[in-house]
Amino acid sequence: GQNIDQPTEMTATEGAIVQINCTYQTSGFNGLFWYQQHAGEAPTFLSYNVLDGLEEKGRFSSFLSRSKGYSYLLLKELQMKDSASYLCAVMDSNYQLIWGAGTKLIIKP
């Protein structure tokens, strides 16, 4: 079966750095997406990785290792507004997204 694993919840301090991990087992791979979802709102796109390596976009970076079935989202200089759930999703061989349950990130002052 297809499976996306990410931690249920993480806590970090304002101004710090946090890394949210995602491991996956899917039938085929056509890229990995990270989304941010604030409580009661829609998911919004953060990043896309299809090749191994690190993609940097401002305070957010995303890393992919296809051989290990592993990705992480790195958030730097945490702000209170970064409190949200972060969703990892893999596009399978049918170009459908398989979603993880999300990691709820709590930022403390």
Partner 1 sequence: IAGITQAPTSQILAAGRRMTLRCTQDMRHNAMYWYRQDLGLGLRLIHYSNTAGTTGKGEVPDGYSVSRANTDDFPLTLASAVPSQTSVYFCASSDGDNQPQHFGDGTRLSIL
Burial grade of 54 (CB within 10 A; 0-12, 13-18, 19 or more) = exposed
Q: Report how far apart, in Å, the C-alpha atoms of 28 and of each of 47, 50, 87, 98 are.
A: 19, 12, 19, 11
Among 87, 103, 105, 107, binds partner 1 (CB under 8 A): 87
Site for partner 1 contains 70 (CB under 8 A): no
**Contacts (CB under 8 A) with partner 1, residues 35-54:** 41-45, 48, 50
Considering the complex, what minimum distance in angstroms separates the CB of residue 94 from partner 1? 9
Among 10, 29, 31, 66, binds partner 1 (CB under 8 A): 31
